[in-house]
Amino acid sequence: MQKRAHKTGRANPWVILGLTALLAVTMAVSCMFGAVDISMDDIAGRSQIFWQLRLPRVIMGALVGAVLSVCGAAYQSIFRNPLTDPYVLGVSSGASLGAAVAILLGLEAYLWGVGGLALAMALMTVLVIYKIASIGNRMHTTTLLLTGVCLTLLISAVISFLMVLNQEKMDSIIFWTMGSFGSSSWTDVWMLLPVAAVGIGVVLWYSRDLNLLLAGSEAAQSMGCEVEKVKRMLLLFTTLMVAFAVSSCGVIGFVGLIVPHAVRLVAGPDNRKVVPYAILCGAIFVLVCDTLARTVLRPSELPVGSLTSMVGAPLFIYLLYKNKKGF
Amino acid sequence: MIEIKHIRVEFGKRRILDGIDATVAPGRITAVMGPNGCGKTTLLRCIGGLLEPTAGSVAIDGQLVGSYTARGLAQKVAFVRQQAQTDFEFSAFETVLMGRNPYQHHLQNESQKDWDIVEQCMKQTGTWHLRLAKPGEMSGGEMQRVMIARALAQQTPVLLMDEPVSNLDIAHQLEIMRLLRTTDKTVVIVIHDLNLALQFCDDLMLIHNGKLLFHGPIAQGLTTGNIGTVYGVKSHMAEGRIIFDY
C-alpha cells in the first residue's frame, strides 16, 4: 500500500519547493531581459527601468499566470468539462467590450481608465450570466456555460461592430484583446495581488471538493460535499480573479485551458496536486512567454497572448503524445 | 431507523410520489420495487437528502434528513447510483478513497487507516485487482462494483442502492447480495430481479402509481396478485420461486 500512498493525496512538498525555486529563478532572469537588458550589477544604474517597469511587469506576469491556471483548473472540475477555460463565463468578452468602449472614449490617458471600465463590464457580464443561470438558490452549470458562450459571441459581434465604425482605433482595441504586460504598473500589482491571494487561497481550500464535484453534484453531495456553497464560493472568487487579471493585461489565451491539463498529464487528476502545481507552473509559463514576447523581436514587442499559444501548443501536444491518454 | 412520513413529490404538474409512509427498521434489507418511472429512485433520493420532497419528511435516527450537515449525513448514509460516472482519470483506488471524504477536513490527508479501509472494501467487492485501473479500462460491471466499494468505504449505517446489480453478471450479483447479507447495515435497495429480491431481502416496499401498495416482509408482498397489479404480468409460484407465464 505504501507505493500507492504517496501517489494519492496532497501535493508533494518537494515538488512545490522545486517549482517555487524555478519560479524565483525565472522571475530573476525575466527581470534581466527586455528592450534594455539589465545585469545584476547594473540595477542601480538602471533603477528607473528596473523598479518602475521591469519588476511590476514580471510580478504581474507571474500573478496573471497563476490566476488563469488556478481558475482553469477550478472551472474544468466545476463544469466537469475539460474544454472550459477561465474566459468561458464571458469575463473576457465583458472586459474586452469595456476596454473597447474606454479606448473609443479616449480614456487611455487616465490611470486605470481602460482597466476600470473593463473590470466593471467584466463583472456586469458575469452577473447577468449568473442571474440567467440560477434557479432559486441553485446554479445550473450547463445553462451557465451555454449562457456564457452565447453572451461571449454576442459581445464579440458588438466589439467588431464598434471597431468597424471606428477604424482609426481598431489597432489599439485589437492589441488590447491580444493581451500584453507592456503597460503593467505597480497600481496593477496592488489591484490584483490581494484578490489573487484570497482567491487562490479559496481554491486551494476547496481543492478536495473539486475532486468530488468531478463525480457529479449528487454524488459529491452524498460524499459530504456542500455542493451549492462550494460552487458559489469558487465561482465568486475565480470570477473576481479573472476579471481583475483580464482588465489589467487583456485577454491572454491558452494558459488557463492548457496548464491544468499539462499538470494533470504529469501529476494525475487529484486537484489537491493539480491546483498548487498549476498555480506555480502557470506563473512560470506566462513569465517565460512574456520574456520571449519582449525579447524575440526587440525593440518591438509581440502580444504575449500569441506567444502563450505558440510556445504552449507544441509543448502540450508533446505531453499528450508522450502520455497517450485521453481525459 | 428510517422514518418516512407522508412524502409527496411533484415535478411541475406531475406527481411522482403521493403520500408515502414507511418505517425501515435498522439492520434490515428492504427492496424497493415497482415498474419503471414509478418513483423508486425519487424515493431513494428523498431518503438520501438529495431531493427535498414537496411535502412530508424523512428522518434518520430521529433527526430530519434536511437538518444534517452534508458531512454528517454522509457519515450516516451512502448512496450507490444507477449510473456509475467518473470523469477525468481517477484510478479505481482513488475513486474508492473519495468515500473517506466525510471523515476528513479540507486540508487533511488520508491516513493509513483510510487506505486500509479502502483496501478492505475493494477486496469485499472483488475490485482490489482493479485498483490501478482507470474508468476507460473497466467494464460497466467492474465500475459498478467500484462504486459499491466507494459507498462501503463511507462506513455508514445506512446504504441506499439504486439498481446496484443491474450491470452485473449472476456471479457478481450473488456476491454483492451475499455481501449485503453479511453486513449489519440498513439497506434500501431498488432492484428489478424479483427472485433475487425474494432470496436476499427481508422487506419489500412495492410502489404503484406513486403510492405504497405494500410494505412488509417480502415473502408476503411478492404475491402473484401484487405482481399482476403492479407490473401487469401473470405469474405463479413454484418451489418458492416466481415463474412468469407467457
User: In tens digits, what is the pLDDT along chain B, a chain of 246 residues?
Assistant: 899 999 999 988 889 999 999 999 999 999 999 999 889 999 999 999 999 999 999 999 999 999 999 999 999 999 998 776 655 678 999 999 999 999 998 888 888 999 999 999 999 999 999 999 988 888 888 888 999 999 999 999 999 999 998 888 999 899 889 999 998 899 999 999 999 999 999 999 999 989 999 999 999 999 999 999 999 999 988 888 888 887
Locate cell 481517477: which residue?
Answer: B90
Mutate: best of B88, B132, B158, partner A, most A CBs <10 A: B88
Give the one of B74, B88, B101 whose C-beta lies nearest to A269's C-beta. Answer: B88
Segment A81-109, tens digit of pLDDT: 888 888 888 888 898 999 899 988 888 77
Its pTM stands at 0.89
Instruction: Give B-chain residues touching A327 at CB under 8 angstroms.
Output: 87-89
A325 touches chain B (CB under 8 A): yes
CATH of domain A11-323: 1.10.3470.10
CB contact under 8 A, A326 and B136: yes
H or E segment and range at residue B32: strand B29-33
* Closest residue on chain B to A224 (Cα): B71
Closest to A288 (Cα-Cα) out of A302, A303, A308: A308
Average pLDDT over residues A298-324: 82
* Three-state secondary-structure class, residue B202: coil
CB contact under 8 A, B78 and A222: yes
Distance from CA of B226 to the nearest CA of A (A): 33
Residue A2 pLDDT grade (very low, low, confident, very high; cuts 50, 70, 90):
very low
SS3 annotation, B209-232: CCEEEEEEEHHHHCCHHHHHHHHC
pLDDT higher than 90, residue A326: no
Segment A17-60, tens digit of pLDDT: 999 999 999 999 998 887 777 777 777 777 778 788 889 999 99
Q: DSSP code of A49? A: I
What is the rounded distance in angstroms from the CA atom of residue B231 to the CA atom of residue B80?
Answer: 25
| Per-residue confidence (pLDDT) for residue A39, from 0 to 100 | 75
Distance from CA of B91 to the nearest CA of A (A): 9
Complex ipTM value: 0.90
What is the rounded distance in angstroms from the CA atom of residue A14 to the CA atom of residue A245?
Answer: 29
CB contact under 8 A, B90 and A216: no
Amino acid at A327: F
* Closest residue on chain A to B47 (Cα): A222
H or E segment and range at residue A290: helix A271-295
What is the rounded distance in angstroms from the CA atom of residue B72 to the CA atom of residue B63?
Answer: 11
A264 touches chain B (CB under 8 A): yes
Segment A252-295, tens digit of pLDDT: 988 999 999 999 988 989 999 999 999 999 999 999 999 999 88
Residue A139 pLDDT grade (very low, low, confident, very high; cuts 50, 70, 90):
confident
| Per-residue confidence (pLDDT) for residue B84, from 0 to 100 | 63
Q: How far is CA A267 from CA A9, B88, B90, in A?
A: 11, 13, 11
Distance from CA of B139 to the nearest CA of A (A): 17
What is the rounded distance in angstroms from the CA atom of residue B1 to the CA atom of residue B62?
Answer: 8
| Per-residue confidence (pLDDT) for residue A327, from 0 to 100 | 46
* Three-state secondary-structure class, residue A275: helix
Locate cell 527581470: which residue?
Answer: A31
Amino acid at B20: I
Q: How far is CA B209 from CA A1, B48, B188, B190, in A?
A: 50, 21, 20, 16
Distance from CA of A110 to the nearest CA of B (A): 44
Distance from CA of A133 to the nearest CA of B (A): 19
A327 touches chain B (CB under 8 A): yes
Closest to A27 (Cα-Cα) out of A7, A65, A55: A55
pLDDT higher than 50, residue A5: no
Looking at domain B2-76+156-244, which CATH architecture does it have? 3-Layer(aba) Sandwich (3.40)
Residue A271 CB partners (closer than 8 Å, separation 6+): A73, A77, A207, A208, A210, A211
The full set of domain ranges for chain B reads 2-76+156-244, 87-154
B150 touches B135 (CB < 8 A): no
Give the one of B87, B90, B131 whose C-beta lies nearest to A80's C-beta. Answer: B87
Closest to A213 (Cα-Cα) out of A161, A275, A256: A275
A101 touches A256 (CB < 8 A): no
B82: cell is 444507477
| Per-residue confidence (pLDDT) for residue A69, from 0 to 100 | 96
Torsion, CA A71, CA A74, CA A78, CA A81, rounded to 10: 80
Q: How far is CA A76 from CA A83, A143, A160, A273, B52, in A?
A: 7, 15, 29, 15, 28
